[in-house]
Amino acid sequence: MSGHLGFSYVGLIYLFMLFIPNIIWSKSQPIDNETTHENKILQLLERIGQVGCTASVLMFNDFNIAALSAWSLWLIASLLLMILYEICWIRYFTNEHTKGNFYRSLYGIPVPLASLPVMAFLLLGIYGENIWLIAFDILLGIGHIGVHIQHLKAIK
């Protein structure tokens, strides 16, 4: 569970799925966007998690598709969560660009644009049996989801 060094094309695909909508969002931010003071500890955990997850999914080949088995269900579940993440972005981009739409839950999943990729990367880490991705994803989850919940509370 330590990780095998080598390029992960699955990791690269996940990063494209993560970054492309965020790049588009940077040009379509909510019209009611106001600065919210974020908890510095949550921000630090988020940044450490982001860097660690990005590096882990690219530098360990544990996430590349292996022979199909029951273990592959972890990868399939992870991919389904990333697809839901993309659907949430489509929902945001096709509706009014407000914070309310940005943070709107999806079938009871709170702050899905923050929580879905965190859950997807956790399952990807389990699939690849990669402790590094799992550990960095936990840090990312605490920070990223925490910051987004702060933002959600600020608009209510």
Amino acid at 143: G
Main-chain dihedrals φ then ψ at residue 60, nearest 5 degrees: -115, 130
> What is the DSSP code string of 116-132?
HHHHHHHHHHHHTT-HH
Contact between 140 and 50 under an 8 Å Cβ cutoff? The reply is yes
pTM of this structure: 0.93
Sequence-separated (6 or more) residues with CB below 8 Å from residue 80: none
**Which pLDDT band holds residue 124 (cuts at 50, 70, 90)?**
very high
What is the DSSP-derived secondary structure letter of residue 111? S
pLDDT digits (tens, 9 = 90+) for 60-112: 999 999 889 999 999 999 999 999 999 999 999 999 888 888 999 999 999 99
Residue 29 has pLDDT above 80, yes or no: no
